[in-house]
Amino acid sequence: MVSNYESLATWGTIIYFGILSILLLTGNVIRRKIPLLKKSLLPTSVIAGLLGLVIKEAIVRPLIGYSWWIDADQMTKFNMFLNIVTYHTIAIGFIAMGLKVNEKFKIKTQRAHSYYNGMVIVSSYLLQGIIGIAITAILAFTVFPIFKTGPGLATGILLPFGFGQGPGQANNFGMIYQQLGFAGAQSYGLAISSMGFIWACLGGVIYLNKVYKKKVTGEETVSQTNSVQEVEAPDEIPVAESIDKLTVQITLIVVVYAVTLLIMFGLTRLASLNDGIYRMVGSLIWGFNFIFGMVIALLAKKLFGYLRQKNIMTRQYPNNYMLNRIAGVVFDFMVVASIVSINIEDLASPQMWITFFIITSVAGLSTMFYLHKITKRVYKEYTLPAFASMYGTMTGTVSTGIALLREVDPYYETPAATDLVTGTTTAIIFGFPILLLASFAPNGIVQSLITLGVLILLYLLFVFILLKKHPKVS
């Protein structure tokens, strides 16, 4: 009799993580050995994801039913695992970033600067949303009737989720739209996110080379800060005592995520008291686990600061170096899992492929042009680092934004990196209407067109405020 410990089913999660790990290691070798990929700054996780997608669709899928170890049930379980990894890692990564202690930079910024960071981020979302819905609507009412439904037109708003927020949100909302009746929406959103990485890395590198004449090498830089000081600052807990310092960081993240789960569960139960409200915000609450996690993490950080100020907590527990490493790990797994989980069969329609290429191309160029203009006004003292970090993030993820930033600010001497964190926080406030519109749009064609109109008005308002508060220097 086979025990539970020997059962293959109990080892499924380990095997699946092993597959992702092998893909990451292989992707790293490919990136380091092929000069073109190295200079492109294309993250290892993206290369690994694309490699896994090719293997899954071109090799594994044709073998389903012809081999004893590959069947449709195993493929379904693997895809479910990939979706779960994508869903949870985005929240864990943002919680790790939210717990980081505030850092000091050579260039000082005012407190209001964080709100302008949020406006830049959200105005980029709005621009991408306008492009996505507008182009999708034009094609739907002319040549591609497949999109001529509420959820169909609403897939245009997957563009800012895929480009601006990465595969986690593209997966979440794509899944919602698919449940509402648009077949393939989840894979469509993840495909948009994957193309966003291409624009972030290849487009960003071309921009730096052509516009700023910045030679991109793709070489890793060595931090000026001593690694021992990064891991163990004078006022922090030791690296190892009765409990390991890394254990403390992971524990803090897990506790914050557990509190996040309880809050989302409570809000869901509260919303369920009214069927109409529940239908509108029920899936939205669980879809934005990373936003709730970030807010709870920031509140926890405020609590730690208060306890230290009152001398109740005498040592600093969060460590930025380790939190950065944890965020890097989970984001790498998120990216590779999200790309591998794309189901090419869902995108078999030529109408979806043509629409996909049109809206991602227009969005990549438009986002580049908009950030080129707006960063010159908002970030006058460090325009190039601001553009690099913002463009990389608004088309890929924070990791691609940081990769581009490293090429122009290798020692993080400007606040550009922290602008992403503070901007993401304030963007929760400014971007909340987008979240409501994203759940409103798929209810019908009229609702999608109303969403487009509101996005345009909000975009014009945000740009007006940014330009008024940051006049052009003559």
Tell me the backbone φ, ψ of residue 316, rounded to 5 degrees: -85, 125
pLDDT of residue 223: 46
* Residue 423: per-residue pLDDT: 78
Is the separation of the CB atoms in 184 and 347 below 8 Å?
Answer: yes
- Cα separation of 313 and 400, whole Å? 36
Contact present, 271 and 278 (Cβ < 8 Å): yes
Enter the pTM of the model: 0.76
Burial class (CB in 10 A: 0-12, 13-18, 19+), 220: exposed
C-alpha to C-alpha distance for 346 and 291, rounded to whole angstroms: 29
CB 45 within 8 A of CB 24: yes
27-56 pLDDT, tens per residue?
Answer: 999 988 888 777 776 778 888 988 998 898
Proportion of the chain above pLDDT 70, given as a percent: 84
DSSP 233: -
The span from the CA of 377 to the CA of 123, in Å, is: 14
Residue 280's pLDDT band (cuts 50, 70, 90): low
Report CA 474 to chain centroid distance, whole Å: 36
Look at 61-75, 315-329, 418-432 and tell me which has the smallest mean pLDDT: 61-75
**b/e map 38-63, b = 16+ CB within 10 Å:** bbbbbbbbbbbbbbbbeebeeeeeee
47, two tokens = 């290369």
**Among the listed residues 252, 242, 251, 223, the one whose alpha carbon sits nearest the alpha carbon of residue 101:** 252
Query: In the structure encoding, which two tokens stand for residue 389, read together?
Result: 């970090």
Q: How far apart are CA 440 and CA 435, in angstroms?
A: 9
Coil vs helix vs strand at 214: coil
| Of 6, 27, 3, nearest in space to 336 by CA | 27
Where is pLDDT greater, at 275 or 223?
275
